[in-house]
Amino acid sequence: MVYQPVKVCMNFENHLQYVIQAHGEYPLRPENATRRWDGKTPYSIHPIWCAMTLRTETSLPEELRETGSIALLYHDVLEDTKAGLPEDLPERVRHLVREMTFLGGMTQEMEEIWNKGIEIKLLKLYDKVSNLLDGSWMTADRAQQYRDHTKRLLDEAVATYGELNIVRIARAII
């Protein structure tokens, strides 16, 4: 069954609530309601961290911070939940979410991300940094793949956006 809530008012708090509920109550697999590394932390912490970290990037244009942070909240909903996207989610956000969605997993992402626009690569940088921060579940080989992939995303972000906070965090962990 696909979760379709009543019409959602489009403010950030509603987006947060929707994502928390989607990951907590409608995961594709019950074990995906929490983070792998401890089996206790709600999965929704990941997209919330990504969104809030982007919102702190005051050197980025406000429109990118606003739209990008909402897209980051929803970036795993299509891959990991039965919830779907809210009906009244703006088309620009829907587009960003679709562009960040790789149903074939990390292998597909590592091949196809380079054909996407720079905004998608920037948003995926937030996603990958968050994954690395709580990546104790990764094998050594998988962690190295993530670090290499993140480094490429970082290089592209720096070339377009300069020295962002996410760049400094990424450099510290890769």
Is there a contact between 149 and 140 (Cβ–Cβ < 8 Å)? no
Is there a contact between 116 and 99 (Cβ–Cβ < 8 Å)? yes
- Torsion angle in degrees (nearest 10) through CA of 83, 89, 72, 39: -20
DSSP state of 75: T
Distance of CA 154 to the CA centre of its chain: 15
Environment class of 77 (CB within 10 Å of its CB; exposed 0-12, middle 13-18, buried 19+): buried
Q: What is the pLDDT of residues 132-152, one digit of tens each?
A: 998 888 999 999 999 999 999
- What number is the average pLDDT over the span 152-157? 98
- What number is the average pLDDT over the span 90-114? 96
Residue 105: pLDDT above 80?
A: yes
The neighbour count for residue 59, using CB atoms within 10 Å, is 10
Q: Alpha-carbon distance 20 to 137, whole Å?
A: 22
Radius of gyration over every alpha carbon of the chain, rounded to an integer in angstroms: 15
- pLDDT band (50, 70, 90) for residue 4: very low
Q: Alpha-carbon distance 90 to 67, whole Å?
A: 9
Q: Alpha-carbon distance 90 to 96, whole Å?
A: 10
Residue 142 pLDDT: 93
- φ, ψ of residue 122 to 5 degrees: the values are -60, -50
Q: Which amino acid is at 11?
A: N
Q: Which amino acid is at 102?
A: F
Residue 22: pLDDT above 70?
A: yes
- pLDDT band (50, 70, 90) for residue 5: very low
Is there a contact between 128 and 113 (Cβ–Cβ < 8 Å)? no
- pLDDT band (50, 70, 90) for residue 7: very low
Least confident of 26-30, 31-35, 120-124, 170-174: 31-35
Answering whether pTM is above 0.95, one says: no
Q: Which domains does the chain have, with CATH numbers?
A: 12-173 (1.10.3210.10)
